[in-house]
Copies of this chain bind each other. A is one copy, B any other.
Amino acid sequence: MTTERGTSAQALRLAVIDTDSGFLQVLDKRLERLGWEHRTMASAVPVETIVAMRLSALVVDLAILGPSGWDYLHRVCSELPGLGVIVCTGQSTVAQRVRGLRLGADDWLTKPCHPEELIARVEAVVRRRRRSDARAERGPVAAGDLEIRSDRFQAFVDRRSVDLTRREFELIELLAGSEGRVLEREEIYQRVWGYAMARGDRSVDVFVRKLRQKLEKASPDWRYIHTHFGVGYRFAAEPVDGSEPAERMAEAAVAEPADGPAPATLRLEDGAGIDRAAAELAH
């Protein structure tokens, strides 16, 4: 298996500034089906809003921006060097296209165009950026005493590196990245191992155990991985019921099944969409 460049289909975040309702309708449906988060806007939005949307790419019809379009394009491109920018607009001259591309646009597509081609071009544009930044993307995740740094392939408990193997790290990374959510074994396996879990496979459990051991040794005051019987595991830093260490332990053992962490509500995937993300910052 070679380094597949063509593998399409990671979910991207995309915004479209356009007003061509017919085109948008078709495009929307297609994007929906691909599972890309997307949003369309009828006119230029402030650059800060774009920033807040944390997009992978932006598609823009220069025509509807009027004469300030060039300036806008330039501002967007220099503010967000990492953003893929595709101009998709009507008839244009060579000079205009060259100008747009030199200003920082990554591609220039002439309408009318097929949504599928637009999508393919967006993918092509985003592909490269992904390639190298991929891992550095999300900043360090921290919870309890634990800090997870994806770029270092390492977890730290107060400066001290917790030695994790590759799988262990990928597992804790996944769990911590979905903090608070209960992940089913199938999903965990699928996302860490990359293929479907065979029935009866206990790998996930085994690795959870290894992680717990290492984490407990490194950070005894917190519990991080919680079992949900019949379901899966949930990551959340919870102080080990240290409030009353030994004493209460005995009591609890006898008297109460005291399940400290409430039956854990299952939250849905935080659909924190583009709108919300934008609102947060643009507010």
Contacts and interface: CB of A to CB of B under 8 A. Distances in A.
Given A78-B4, A94-B116, A153 B196 contact: no
A77 B6 contact: yes
Interface in A94-126: 94-95, 97-98, 101-108, 114, 116-117, 119-121, 123-125
Contact of A117 (B94, B186, B196): B94
Interface stretch (A129-137, A139-147, A210-218, A255-263): A129-137
A114 B102 CA distance: 15
Task: Determine how many copies of this chain the complex contains.
Answer: 2
Nearest to A230: B166
A149 to B, nearest CB: 9
Contacts of A133: 132
A132 B128 contact: yes
Contact of A116 (B79, B98, B136): B98
A124 B136 CA distance: 23
A11 to B, nearest CB: 16
A234 interface: yes
A3 interface: yes
A283 interface: no
Contact of A78 (B2, B95, B125): B2
Contacts of A203: none
Most buried by B among A4, A153, A186, A234: A153
A249 interface: no
Contacts of A123: 101-102
Contact of A129 (B5, B94, B131): B131
A180 to B, nearest CB: 6
Interface of A: 2-6, 8, 74, 77-79, 81-82, 84, 94-95, 97-98, 101-108, 114, 116-117, 119-121, 123-125, 127-129, 131-133, 136, 151-154, 165-166, 180-182, 186, 196, 228-232, 234
A-B pairs, top 8 by smallest CB distance, nearest first, are A5-B104, A132-B132, A101-B120, A166-B230, A2-B78, A153-B182, A94-B114, A98-B120
15 contacts: A5-B103, A6-B77, A6-B102, A8-B102, A84-B128, A95-B116, A98-B114, A98-B119, A107-B121, A128-B129, A129-B131, A129-B132, A151-B181, A153-B232, A166-B229
Given A98-B120, A132-B133, A152-B234, 13 more contacts: A3-B78, A5-B103, A6-B74, A94-B114, A102-B124, A104-B127, A107-B121, A107-B124, A125-B128, A129-B132, A131-B132, A151-B181, A153-B232
